[in-house]
Structure 1
Amino acid sequence: MTDMRVPTLDVHSPLDGRLVGRPLAATDEDAAGAVRTAREAQPGWAATPAADRGAALRAAARAVRDAADDLAAAVQAETGRPFGSAREGVLAGASTLEQYAELGPVHRGRSLLGGHDATDLMVPGPRGVVVALTPWNDPVAVACGLLGAALVTGNAVVHKPSERCPHTGALLAELMVQHFPPGVLQGLTGAGELGAALAASPDVDVVAHVGGTATGRSIAAACAATGAKALLENGGNDPLVVDADVDPAWAAAQAALGGFTNAGQLCTSVERVFVHQDVAEAFLEALCDEARRWNADPQPLVDRAHRDHVHAHVAEAVADGARALVGGEVPDGDGAFYPATVLAGCTPGMRVMREETFGPVVPVRVVPSFEQGLAEACADEHGLAATVLTGSMANAQRAWRALPVGTVKVNAVFGGAPGGAAQPRGASGTGFGYGPELLDEMTAVKVVHLGQAQLRD
């Protein structure tokens, strides 16, 4: 029987609304206890040879890889992400753990050129206790990045996954915890209040968060009060700028891929489009065809509350003069489905252009020149990523230099070489959230000067 003294989380399937589960939620006392345990365990883990820490992480990666089907099924049940796509995310997470298992033991320090009779070093060391607050839209891949980098550098970690995927988070913790000493990695299930309690703890050294901008700002304020480091990847409002010289059908396929993949629930989804007037008509026609194709095999949003948020953006834009060329209406039936939607006639003041919608909605604004499209793309408080489609090297150069974002993609909405790491700008957060540089975020550098002692006669 469920202990009624302990709060629970009701998780419903976005596919058909059925109850997936009702896991117990941790309390503030549980959070405080987990942080104390992590604080006690961390020095011993920091003293563990780096190669042994890497070996433990490699074993955890194998466990995640071996349980890929179970993790993918949990992701699908809780978030509605198709099984195949969910499994790809799980395997990406396992690969990330493996990468950090290799990179951690060779994480760089520096020797300095001082006096001939002394040795000067810059040595990285763990920061201490890391709280990792991770999202629901790619829950295993994102969590593995933060957990892997923090653990391999000698930190102890308390992980709270999103309350929208608690079963996924609990299974990931179960698979990984057994490969580390007691207390080094702990998983807690709970809602936003639990995350706030963890972030506000005076015994936490780093709060690493991937999620919405409002939550990220609250975490930054909490860290300012305690002195903890805030590592934040907040929301984005990523623009796509379409130049006059590109094939409009190809550009529309790129916009659809960027806007409709995972039902628009990606950190780097295309959130707003600026298309040159010379190709606008053909682009919109092709984009509508793309949306209808995506609607033939729909994916739900994570839940109905999020669907209400997405539809509110669309309805408000239509009320302000935009036209829904495809989609734009809440469908009948169970689940949290919302159609791929194309909005034309959008203006900069509309909320769908100013804020992150995080759904399968592509709002389009027609502009008279590439320069104006670029200027409007730059005029936003977010700074996560942006895409430019152009055959002009001059325009591409101008764009990547001007866009105030962490990642600029030219002529492809997704892709890039492995190992890249970016820092978001503005409301989108601060710090490296992935790549080898994430190891730097999880460590603090100490300068050591070793001089010669003068000995007694």
Structure 2
Amino acid sequence: MQIVSPIHGDVIGTLPIATSQEATGSVLRARRVAREWARTPAAARAERLHAAAAELRERAGELAVLNEAETGRVCAEAEEGVLAGAATLTQYAELGPVHRGRSLRGEWSSTDLMVPEPRGVVVALTPWNDPVAVSCGLLGAALVTGNVVIHKPSERAPQTGLLLDEILQRHLPPDVLITLVGDGEVGAALVRDEHIDVVAHVGSTATGRSIAQSVRPGAKVLLENGGNDPLLVDADVDPEWAAAQAALGAFANCGQICTSVERIYVHQAIATPFLGALVDEAKKRCDIAPLVDRRQREHVHAHVRDAVDRGGELLIGGAIPDGPGAYYPATVLSGCTPDMRVMTEETFGPVAPVTVVSDFNEGLSLAMSGEYGLAATVLTGSMQHAQQAWRELHVGTVKINAVFGGAPGGAAQPRGASGTGFGYGPELLDEFTTTKVVHIGLPEPRVM
């Protein structure tokens, strides 16, 4: 496997791809240590995660440099992702030992319990757009609850994934965490293995659907997949502030965030100043970082060309620049219609497609359309509209007056084509455990 820099286009590394035999062998190795790790006291597992989190903080700069080299993500932002990952490990180290079942009220002479137990062998397939933070969430929750894990980091950020796992493995017993480098074939071999108990995947909807069809009956599947997240801009907000929010949501990390703003519906009363301010925001991002690779750039550009071909107006951007790397400019489209790919599919690039709506209800109706259900944002000064929006939008996360943000520990369930199961927070511990009911009664006395 060759790793090509999205910044200058040069090869920056090569790695051997795991074989299907190595995938099978990794599962067997993990199963051999699963029982011992499950019997390790929860507090002892937590201590190991605490130690790993501390080392992760110490080496955040090293991981960030590698992340930037592989994916083009700005180093300072990549370091924030590493520190977020360390914080997530710490969170699960704290939550793991207090993750508990409950007792049931039965007969006076018996005891009834509901006890959480680790599911067993977890396959974690993690993405490239925030490789450390997302991986730490899945790995931390799985490990602290007593599961063993086989981790395949994205083939677009394999060196970052290897270094992350090397740090974690220094604080874990052998084979509790195993790393495999490879492409989709390696992931598919792991998913199909009959000894896998959980598959946790963050990535594309197409891959998520394939996983759901491939796992053995009875295995748990956790999916956080694609999104086509809408932003609804009401008539009573400041258009320049709304444009700044829209630009942040659409252009941060070049639009390569799971909950990026993918489509925008703005009230006609403020549409003109909003569009002008949004173009100004795009101009400020003339030095935007590259996309992860040229394949992703072609995907983004195809969406933009489709919109223009169907009558959309290109206000700024929308052209592939000359030179090396995988750069693409911040792009604003107006006059977008529901038949355009930018309004129905996940673009995952620095594109802000805008539709002008006549009123809030029309915008809400359009925002609710489509097969995805990851997240949505509403900018409004109306408490009534805010209440209506969060109750009616069929998504896992609704953000009012902020495209990003939220309190620690939040956990949402994506809907529709965006996936299934909790992906974060204390609830993720429940996903990685299964519940056993135990009834303990008294024996009959021996007749002498």
Fold shared, TM-score > 0.5 on shorter chain: yes
Aligned to 2:145: 153
Aligned to 2:352: 362
The answer as to 2:261 corresponding to 1:248 is: no
Amino acid of the structure 2 residue aligned with 1:453? P
**Alignment deviations for residues 289-337 of structure 1 (CA, whole Å, 9 cap, x no partner):** 0000012x21100000100000000011101100110100001111100
**Residue 60 of structure 1 contacts residue 176 of structure 1 at CA under 8 Å; is this kept in 2?**
yes
Fraction of identical pairs, as percent: 66
The answer as to 2:29 corresponding to 1:37 is: yes
Aligned to 2:59: 67
For 1:401 and 1:132, the matched residues in 2 are separated by 32
For 1:100 and 1:174, the matched residues in 2 are separated by 19
How far is the alpha carbon of 1:368 from its aligned partner? 0.6
For 1:326 and 1:24, the matched residues in 2 are separated by 42
Amino acid of the structure 2 residue aligned with 1:61? A
For 1:26 and 1:170, the matched residues in 2 are separated by 13
Equivalent residue in structure 1 for 2:432, among 442, 448, 456 = 442
The answer as to 2:295 corresponding to 1:291 is: no
How far is the alpha carbon of 1:246 from its aligned partner? 0.7
**Residue 124 of structure 1 contacts residue 446 of structure 1 at CA under 8 Å; is this kept in 2?**
yes
How far is the alpha carbon of 1:151 from its aligned partner? 0.3
Equivalent residue in structure 1 for 2:178, among 164, 174, 186 = 186
For 2:277 and 2:218, the matched residues in 1 are separated by 51
Aligned to 2:387: 397
How far is the alpha carbon of 1:226 from its aligned partner? 3.7
The answer as to 2:297 corresponding to 1:300 is: no
Q: How does 1:107-122 map to 2 (within 5 A)?
A: 107-122=99-114
Q: How does 1:349-388 map to 2 (within 5 A)?
A: 349-388=339-378
For 2:231 and 2:71, the matched residues in 1 are separated by 27
Aligned to 1:316: 306
In the alignment, structure 1 segments of 5+ residues that lack a partner are 1-8
Amino acid of the structure 1 residue aligned with 2:379? L
**Alignment deviations for residues 235-262 of structure 1 (CA, whole Å, 9 cap, x no partner):** 1100000011111111100000000000
CA RMSD, Structure 1 to Structure 2 (Å): 0.7
After TM superposition, the runs of 4+ consecutive aligned structure 1 residues lying more than 3 A away are: none
For 1:384 and 1:236, the matched residues in 2 are separated by 5
In the alignment, structure 2 segments of 5+ residues that lack a partner are none
For 1:226 and 1:299, the matched residues in 2 are separated by 43
Aligned to 1:99: 91
Alignment TM-score, normalising by the size of structure 1: 0.97
Aligned to 1:274: 265
For 1:352 and 1:82, the matched residues in 2 are separated by 25
**Residue 201 of structure 1 contacts residue 226 of structure 1 at CA under 8 Å; is this kept in 2?**
no
Aligned to 1:329: 319
Equivalent residue in structure 2 for 1:263, among 222, 229, 254 = 254
Aligned to 1:52: 44
For 2:86 and 2:294, the matched residues in 1 are separated by 30
Equivalent residue in structure 2 for 1:173, among 125, 142, 165 = 165
**Residue 304 of structure 1 contacts residue 336 of structure 1 at CA under 8 Å; is this kept in 2?**
yes
Aligned to 1:346: 336
SS at match of 2:163: helix
How far is the alpha carbon of 1:222 from its aligned partner? 1.1
For 1:324 and 1:78, the matched residues in 2 are separated by 30
**Residue 243 of structure 1 contacts residue 370 of structure 1 at CA under 8 Å; is this kept in 2?**
yes
The answer as to 2:130 corresponding to 1:138 is: yes
Amino acid of the structure 1 residue aligned with 2:240? A
Amino acid of the structure 2 residue aligned with 1:384? L
The answer as to 2:222 corresponding to 1:231 is: yes
The alignment covers a number of residue pairs equal to 447
For 1:95 and 1:193, the matched residues in 2 are separated by 32
For 1:56 and 1:186, the matched residues in 2 are separated by 16
Equivalent residue in structure 1 for 2:203, among 207, 211, 214 = 211
